[in-house]
Structure 1
């Protein structure tokens, strides 16, 4: 099989990247835009084509209210014959009493075949509410044995840190069915540098297991990815069935100036077989001010393989190779 390589970075200034390959043969791409003020989708027949595809704005932030500030990390999902985008938004850029942003999670829906039509094709399903009314973000979904599951990051005021990872079953794509179960909280040294963070979950179903990657620590060069693993015939709502890697599975590569790789998603290459990890990364550490407002987290796509036990081996971040 020929080695697969993509231009790196593939798309500049797009953090929290998400690529989905649909049954229509298109790749769909969405990510946080630097202005944090809208949701864009672009599509192409190939991964490389996404770099040159024209973005289509499908939703814009409100002038005021809970969806008026800091639109973060949209993900495009196809569930039950309809399109859904999950994203986080806030009412203000101010911090709350815990010194954190005030994001909550939201969902919009489109029942057209092509999700890149008009903005009015998308309807707002509102906030995806959880029992805790607290900072929450980075929702993703996956289906297993006919059930839909929601995985996200949220602050528990009773637990030290910014966010933990939770899972729940859904009754529909915007409503939880079961009580949230905490799968992971920041606990290791590499998860607690500058900030205590577990966020950006992504789910990969391979080799009889669910691999749930996530990102930890501050969004600068300390950002790194961890992984949880669960057998696909186990109860995914039982935290005891998930095992957690004690060390990062993907992290900065100083030798090649790749810093803070993370907030990944998964897709498959054009051959339909090669698994790909999509992530963002910077090529410098001298960040002025809050790293969240530095726009140069670029989208990178890399193939990965599995070890003899069927566990993903992500290797190191891809050095820049564009001309």
Structure 2
């Protein structure tokens, strides 16, 4: 009887011209770190004209850039020296390079901002900027000068450019007393407008100090500001607490007023966005930047982190990347830093692959107010899912068979719905053939309604995803109730 029902459903689907399930176009798989030590702290990454570009702290007098057509390829891409520093008091300790394609007096050019100082670390750090000769991020570059940002040309680091309303602003970190920790100073965030890419309009004004307890572990620090924008909202993300502790983390301000130069225009989020994950073996994840996938549909973060809580603020830090998501209220959700063992699908559209990855919910047929969701990595169907991202999945080509589908969590990148002892769970892709098979399902015509869908296990083809007492599992299906329990619809 079950075979007859399946054949009937299949024939109905063919008659109705049911479309094949959409398959995504993620890039080559990647595992962290994307770039290993030693030149891999304070990373910047961007995607431009078919290639990824990467730069990071070198602790030397050289600025290095890597280029690769894939994110995974950056790990072995050669380091090219694009500039060797020889300016007075700026011959060593290059930190936190940040590249920006801006309109300047010489047309559209890349501007490479960095912190540098004398060979004795680290009180001599100041901001400097280079200009490319054309629009190639690899240069060549010429030195445009130092940016005087504080009174008496005081200490300043970690600068980047934020553009709001067509105006370029320079955001950076310095001490609120222009002194240092030893004088009771708080390392804080400052901003100034740029009259051109190498000239501040004025000394910086303060927009954030480390006031929350989570910003003051080890030392009171706000540093590494980097802008993140979406739907006409501007978030200024930053690193908080001392980088030598495992509690270095990421916080954010939102521009809620009209004047970016006014401290009152910024609202600080009370909780960090991104922090250590002892379970995943990731410590001190911060000092970051953001980049778009090649097709422009995904936002990614690149950040540095350590493998143990005892490693500090030196050359043990490695660069890591993962996809980020957005909450229903329009705020960024950076998720949890993934384990180095987790296999991530590369950014959507790499190497010219067509189409964006489909992000959808999975609706129950017989309990239509309920959707598939994960909760503490268990799976079930629920109504009014909160947080909403727990019920959203990237529908990608099957990990074991490209004609099937797999479901990757939006807010836990690299984690997929997979069956384990017939129970459906959200688990990280460990790269094994068994995992790929367990996380792959064939989308077929709905067992209870041909206009809907059912999901047949790839490696247990007599079993289908179904809900039982709201929990999800894979089971053989024979009764009308079971057919209804095993019928779903992919929806936005």
- Both structures adopt the same fold (TM-score exceeding 0.5): yes
Aligned residues of 1:161 and 1:195 also touching (Cα < 8 A)? no
Equivalent of 1:184, from 186, 208, 212?
208
Distance 1:108 1:263 in 2: 21
Residue 287 (structure 2) pairs with residue 263 (structure 1)? yes
Task: Show the counterpart of 2:99.
Answer: 76
The within-5 A match list for 1:1-80 is 2=24, 6-13=30-37, 14-22=40-48, 24-33=49-58, 35-62=59-86, 65-80=88-103
Residue 335 (structure 2) pairs with residue 311 (structure 1)? no
Distance 1:67 1:111 in 2: 22
Equivalent of 1:173, from 186, 197, 200?
197
Task: Show the counterpart of 1:210.
Answer: 234
Equivalent of 1:124, from 123, 139, 143?
143
Distance 1:191 1:58 in 2: 35
Q: SS of 1:292's equivalent?
A: coil
How many pairs align? 307
CA RMSD of aligned residues (A): 2.1
Which of structures 1 and 2 has the bigger CA Rg?
Answer: 2
For structure 1, the 5+ residue unaligned runs are 96-100
Distance 1:3 1:102 in 2: 47
Equivalent of 2:176, from 128, 152, 156?
156
* Displacement of 1:179: 4.5
Distance 1:162 1:60 in 2: 32
Residue 134 (structure 2) pairs with residue 134 (structure 1)? no
Aligned residues of 2:225 and 2:238 also touching (Cα < 8 A)? yes
TM-score (norm 1): 0.89
* Displacement of 1:94: 4.9
Aligned residues of 1:169 and 1:177 also touching (Cα < 8 A)? yes
Distance 1:246 1:180 in 2: 24
Aligned residues of 2:189 and 2:222 also touching (Cα < 8 A)? yes
1:176-203: CA deviation from partner (whole Å, max 9, x where unpaired): 1144221101111111111111100110
**CA shift in 2, pair 1:189/1:3, >3 Å:** farther
Distance 2:274 2:163 in 1: 25
For structure 2, the 5+ residue unaligned runs are 1-22, 344-430, 432-492
Greater share of helix residues, 1 or 2?
Answer: 2
Aligned residues of 2:89 and 2:124 also touching (Cα < 8 A)? no
1:236-287: CA deviation from partner (whole Å, max 9, x where unpaired): 1222121101221110011111000000100012332011011011111223
Task: Show the counterpart of 1:292.
Answer: 313
* Displacement of 1:104: 0.7
**Greater RCO structure (CA 8 Å; 6+ sep):** 1
